């Protein structure tokens, strides 16, 4: 596999251009995780069940909790997508570095 200078440059541009988006995806993942815990706590407080286990079950079965969990999963998926794309761009750059280094060594020999 050969990586061109343009492909390596494009990968670097992607990383630089998406750094803020990756940070935003991380922020959203952290925020939605905290919101899921908050929704669960609020739903437990709203419950009139007698035991903590019953209140927890009602909270986990609530539509509000389902909505929070769905948002958390979506945010986590977005974060992992951004991480995967960043990892792929980084790997492309590393491959290009290795190939160009080898090419320089062969020319010098």
- What's the rounded mean pLDDT across residues 94-103? 92
Cα 92 to Cα 86: distance, rounded to the nearest angstrom? 10
Higher-scoring residue by pLDDT: 40, 109: 40
- Looking at residue 1, its pLDDT comes to 67
Say if residues 83 and 26 touch (Cβ distance below 8 Å).
no
pLDDT number for residue 104: 87
Structure tokens of 84? 């995967």
pLDDT digits (tens, 9 = 90+) for 40-96: 999 999 999 999 999 999 999 999 999 999 999 999 999 999 999 999 999 999 999
**Does this model's pTM top 0.95?**
no
**If you ran DSSP here, which 8-state letter would residue 48 be given?**
-
Question: Positive or negative, the Cα torsion across 26, 31, 32, 33?
Answer: positive
Distance from C-alpha of 85 to C-alpha of 88, rounded to nearest angstrom: 5
């Amino acid at each position: 596999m050969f990586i061109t200078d343009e492909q390596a440059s494009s990968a670097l541009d992607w990383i630089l251009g998406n750094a803020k988006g990756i940070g935003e995806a991380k922020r959203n993942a952290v925020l939605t995780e905290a919101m899921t815990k908050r929704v669960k706590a609020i739903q437990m407080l709203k419950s009139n069940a007698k035991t903590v286990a019953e209140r927890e079950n009602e909270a986990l079965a609530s539509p509000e909790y389902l909505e929070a969990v769905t948002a958390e999963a979506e945010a986590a998926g977005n974060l992992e997508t951004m991480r995967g794309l960043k990892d792929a761009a980084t790997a492309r750059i590393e491959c290009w570095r290795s190939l160009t280094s080898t090419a320089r060594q062969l020319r010098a020999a």
